[in-house]
Homo-oligomer: A and B are copies of this chain.
Amino acid sequence: MPYDPSAYPPFAVTVDLVVLTVRKHALCALAVRRGESPFQGRWALPGGFVAASEDLGSAAARELEEETGLRVGESAGSAAGVHLEQLATYGAPDRDPRMRVVSVAHLVLAPDLPAPVSGGDAQSARWAPVHTLLLEAGDELEPESDRDSDQLAFDHGQILADGVERARSKIEYSALATAFCTPEFTVGELRRVYEAVWGVALDPRNFHRKVTGTPGFLVPSGGTTTRQGGRPAQLFRAGGATVLNPPMLRPEI
């Protein structure tokens, strides 16, 4: 591998973000409307170019804050639980018709946010249920849907699908489902996160036994709440555990 500074082909490097949250019992992703060609007017994942002296993770965090106001960090800021990790890198030669772009996709898990947030450099942004963004050609579309204008630009449909699959599998064996929750949450709220991400119904009693019996997963914060109605529920915070052993089992079928 002889080194010749002029011999390597030039690439542009971007970061794209799969920002997931749970809203109204549905797993939702952040999508921004493209103001530029190509794919003008279509929805896409938020993202942007990596600066010349910027780390990949820093670029992802910067884009996230620019487009959502969310800050990453363990105990920082208002939204404490935001989680960011690298997802995968997409570099098919023709994935961007303008030039050769390699995109390092990142996955963000965030608690439910009041509004899609404004003030980004995208014309508009929204939370969309992932099942509406992931409809493949040939799938059923509701009559009132936007047809293929709901399809994501570039290869962002694939990126989103990979991110969703990563999230689905990761909450099995890690405590990351708490990243979808507010700092204090109930067992029922955590269960609804699992149900939304996996798209299944879980037995409340077995779920309660499992999560409260896993050391380090949850720590009681002392208070209770009735915000879900019914009997007051104990409030918990995320414990120090990061891996769940044995894991949460995703029901078959």
Contacts and interface: CB of A to CB of B under 8 A. Distances in A.
Number of identical protomers = 2
Nearest to A101: B8
Nearest to A10: B10
B102 A1 contact: no
A98 B1 CA distance: 14
Main secondary structure of the interface of A (DSSP, over half): loop
Interface string A30-53: 000001110000000001111111
Given A12-B11, A13-B11, A86-B88, A3 B36 contact: yes
A55 interface: yes
Nearest to A54: B93
A89 B86 contact: yes
A5 interface: yes
Contacts of A2: 36
B5 A98 contact: yes
A121 interface: yes
Contacts of A88: 86
A212 to B, nearest CB: 22
Interface string A53-71: 1111000000000000000
A118 to B, nearest CB: 16
Contact of A8 (B37, B49, B90): B49
16 contacts: A1-B36, A1-B48, A1-B49, A2-B36, A3-B36, A3-B37, A5-B99, A8-B12, A8-B49, A9-B12, A9-B50, A9-B51, A11-B12, A53-B93, A56-B92, A91-B104
